[in-house]
Amino acid sequence: MDVIGGWKRMLGADWEKTYAASNTIYVARQNNILFSVLAQFFGPQAINDRLILIETISFTTTPDDMLESLTRIIADRSVGAAFFGNYYLMDYELMGGDARQAIIDEDGKRNIPVNLPPQVPFGSRQWPALITPGSGPKTLADLP
């Protein structure tokens, strides 16, 4: 935290123009330490705007890989604004409304419950993964 705090002091007012990205392997996205520390300095309004979590299946990610991913995300925002009228729309995995409705309809025909993630508004500032409560230990300290 001292390092990031030092960077924030060095940048001064330019901190509000700063982007940060952290990578995570898919199983650790909710508990990513670097992203969580960065969020303390960037604040909730920067999540998914200037503070981005890049998910990967790789155990390592090169600086070039990270820069390429961040550049693609920022560039895609202009595409979203131009084609869809929403700057953040391209940030999200999109399941078109027709595809979502088709699944709901097919579930109904088969008399099975719909099992889809909740829809999240474009431009959401929520943490990168939905957090749903459940039973069982939640920390190492909770284990018997």
- Domain spans of the chain? 2-131
Task: State the pLDDT at residue 15.
Answer: 97
Supply the pLDDT for residue 129. Answer: 65
% the chain with pLDDT above 70:
90
pLDDT per position as a tens digit, 14-23: 999 999 999 8
26 vs 117 pLDDT, higher one: 117
Q: Are 29 and 53 in contact (CB under 8 A)?
A: yes
Q: What is the pLDDT of residues 90-113, one digit of tens each?
A: 877 665 667 888 889 999 999 999
Mean pLDDT, residues 66-95 taken together: 85
* Matching residue, tokens 């990967």: 56
Nearby residues of 50 by Cβ (< 8 Å), 6 or more positions away: 18, 19, 20, 42
Instruction: Determine the longest span between alpha carbons in the chain, in angstroms.
Output: 60
* Res. 128: pLDDT tops 90: no
- Arithmetic mean of pLDDT, 32-53: 92
Specify the higher pLDDT residue, 60 or 75.
75
Residue 18: predicted pLDDT: 96
- For position 31, what pLDDT does the model report? 76
